[in-house]
């Protein structure tokens, strides 16, 4: 009884008791179960030759779409929170290849940035660009990961050759693209697509015929589906002008139940990523050690703060 009476009568003793009690609880370190959203991403970069088109700017200098995408990715990666897992993928032809399955961004920051920096059009395994055709292959790739991942797809929307009734895949039954984010890279004005040799030396520009159907070929079989002319433009007027096809990407994103934005800034991309659902949810525990440690410290300090000292401190502030 004397103990409880002293607690009621002596405020300093009460604070000391509570401080020791909370410190003891902090040592035990209780925890509560919580469900935590886990965010895994695969950043896919279109590495086809249209991404070499120089119609973007970084630090007021004209750069290619590929260089702009790399810069954008570097700035995105440095703003992702730790525990986020990231993979880098490359798109060309009709398929997507991942450099690795998603890995933790903070522990592997240098490695991931190195992968981004080494993205190059010469890594392509096909000269054509069949974005629409790649959707099924991309969904298959995601399913092969040990953990699911949300897609952020950087592309200019350039289909090469152009779509027509025979080579347009029907995506009405496709269900794998929920919340995929398509990021449009390129300008509305456009520019000619440079053509390089295997040493990355400019040898000309792609011609208009390169993006047209080959004459006299129906293109309905697997052997010739999507083939195109490989000519270099003979004059400036013959150069094919590549532009960001945002209308096509908007429609494609709607068909697969995804989203589309223009890649104007890291802020716009991150804002759109916030709308994506978490890749999965994990059951974990939240430790309460720090909460009880703070309470113990606060109560211990309050023992030395008398009413008079608190009143004097407040009076000085009012006078000021």
What CATH number does residue 117 fall under? 3.40.50.410
Tell me the pLDDT band of 220, cut-offs 50, 70 and 90. Answer: very low
Q: Based on the domain organization, do 192 and 98 belong to the same domain?
A: yes
Instruction: Please tell me the predicted confidence (pLDDT) of residue 75.
Output: 97
- Token pair, residue 174, equals 């496709």
Instruction: Please tell me the predicted confidence (pLDDT) of residue 168.
Output: 80
Q: Based on the domain organization, do 300 and 265 belong to the same domain?
A: no
Q: For 233-265, how does the pLDDT look when each residue is reduced to its tens digit (9 = 90+)?
A: 556 677 889 999 999 999 999 999 999 999 999
Q: Based on the domain organization, do 55 and 204 belong to the same domain?
A: yes
Instruction: Please tell me the predicted confidence (pLDDT) of residue 219.
Output: 42
Q: Based on the domain organization, do 216 and 271 belong to the same domain?
A: yes
Tell me the pLDDT band of 314, cut-offs 50, 70 and 90. Answer: low
Measured CA to CA in angstroms, residue 320 lies from 54, 308, 312 at distances of 61, 19, 13
Domain count for the chain: 2
Domain of residue 53 covers 36-280
The segment with the largest mean pLDDT, out of 172-176, 212-216, 235-239, 262-266, is 262-266
2-16, 77-91, 93-107, 129-143: least confidently modelled range: 2-16
Q: To the nearest whole number, what is the mean pLDDT of the chain?
A: 84
Q: Based on the domain organization, do 88 and 195 belong to the same domain?
A: yes
Across 63-67, average pLDDT: 97
33-37, 62-66, 281-285: least confidently modelled range: 281-285
Selected residue with higher pLDDT from 16 and 121: 121
CA separation for the pair 156, 207 (Å, rounded): 18
Q: Based on the domain organization, do 216 and 300 belong to the same domain?
A: no
42, pLDDT greater than 90? yes
CA separation for the pair 90, 43 (Å, rounded): 8
142, pLDDT greater than 80? yes
107, pLDDT greater than 80? yes
Q: Based on the domain organization, do 194 and 99 belong to the same domain?
A: yes
The pLDDT > 90 percentage for the chain reads: 47
Element (H, E) at 66: helix 65-77
11-15, 37-41, 208-212, 311-315: least confidently modelled range: 311-315
Q: Based on the domain organization, do 141 and 248 belong to the same domain?
A: yes
Across 62-91, average pLDDT: 96
Q: Based on the domain organization, do 140 and 267 belong to the same domain?
A: yes
147, pLDDT greater than 50? yes
CA separation for the pair 241, 184 (Å, rounded): 17
Instruction: Please tell me the predicted confidence (pLDDT) of residue 3.
Output: 67
CA separation for the pair 296, 25 (Å, rounded): 9
Instruction: Please tell me the predicted confidence (pLDDT) of residue 32.
Output: 82
Could you identify the residue written with the tokens 């260089």? 67
CA separation for the pair 109, 83 (Å, rounded): 12
118, pLDDT greater than 60? yes
Across 132-139, average pLDDT: 92
Across 208-213, average pLDDT: 66
Tell me the pLDDT band of 30, cut-offs 50, 70 and 90. Answer: confident
211, pLDDT greater than 80? no
Instruction: Please tell me the predicted confidence (pLDDT) of residue 307.
Output: 55
Instruction: Please tell me the predicted confidence (pLDDT) of residue 167.
Output: 72
- The radius of gyration of the chain's CA atoms, rounded to the nearest angstrom, is 29
Q: Based on the domain organization, do 24 and 125 belong to the same domain?
A: no
4-18, 70-84, 197-211: least confidently modelled range: 4-18
Q: Based on the domain organization, do 15 and 128 belong to the same domain?
A: no
- Token pair, residue 119, equals 């993205």
Q: Based on the domain organization, do 117 and 234 belong to the same domain?
A: yes
Measured CA to CA in angstroms, residue 267 lies from 44, 72, 125, 165 at distances of 18, 10, 32, 38
223, pLDDT greater than 60? no
64, pLDDT greater than 80? yes
């Amino acid at each position: 009884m004397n103990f409880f009476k002293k607690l009621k009568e002596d405020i300093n003793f009460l604070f000391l008791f509570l401080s020791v009690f909370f410190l003891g609880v902090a040592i035990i370190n209780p925890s509560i179960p919580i469900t935590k959203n886990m965010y895994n991403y695969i950043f896919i970069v279109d590495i086809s030759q249209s991404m070499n088109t120089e119609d973007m700017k970084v630090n007021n200098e004209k750069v290619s779409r590929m260089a702009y995408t790399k810069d954008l990715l570097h700035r995105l990666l440095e703003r992702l929170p730790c525990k986020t897992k990231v993979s880098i993928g490359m798109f060309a032809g009709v398929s997507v290849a991942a450099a690795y399955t998603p890995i933790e961004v903070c522990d592997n920051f240098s490695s991931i940035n190195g992968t981004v920096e080494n993205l190059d059009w010469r890594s392509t395994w096909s000269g054509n660009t069949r974005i629409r055709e790649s959707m099924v292959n991309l969904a298959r790739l995601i399913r092969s990961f040990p953990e699911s991942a949300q897609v952020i797809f950087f592309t200019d929307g350039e289909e090469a050759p152009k779509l027509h009734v025979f080579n347009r895949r029907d995506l009405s039954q496709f269900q794998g693209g929920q919340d995929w984010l398509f990021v449009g890279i390129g300008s509305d004005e456009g520019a000619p697509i440079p053509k390089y040799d295997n040493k990355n030396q400019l040898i000309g520009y792609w011609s208009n015929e390169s993006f047209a159907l080959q004459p006299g070929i129906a293109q309905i079989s697997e052997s010739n589906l999507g083939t195109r002319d490989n000519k270099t433009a003979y004059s400036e007027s013959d150069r094919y002008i590549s532009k960001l096809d945002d209308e096509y990407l908007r429609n494609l994103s709607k068909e697969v139940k995804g989203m589309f934005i223009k890649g104007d800034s890291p802020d716009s991309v991150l804002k759109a990523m916030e709308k994506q659902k978490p890749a999965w949810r994990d059951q974990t525990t939240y430790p309460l050690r720090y909460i009880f440690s703070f309470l113990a410290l606060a109560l211990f300090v309050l023992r030395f703060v008398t009413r008079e000292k608190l009143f004097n401190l407040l009076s000085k502030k009012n006078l000021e």
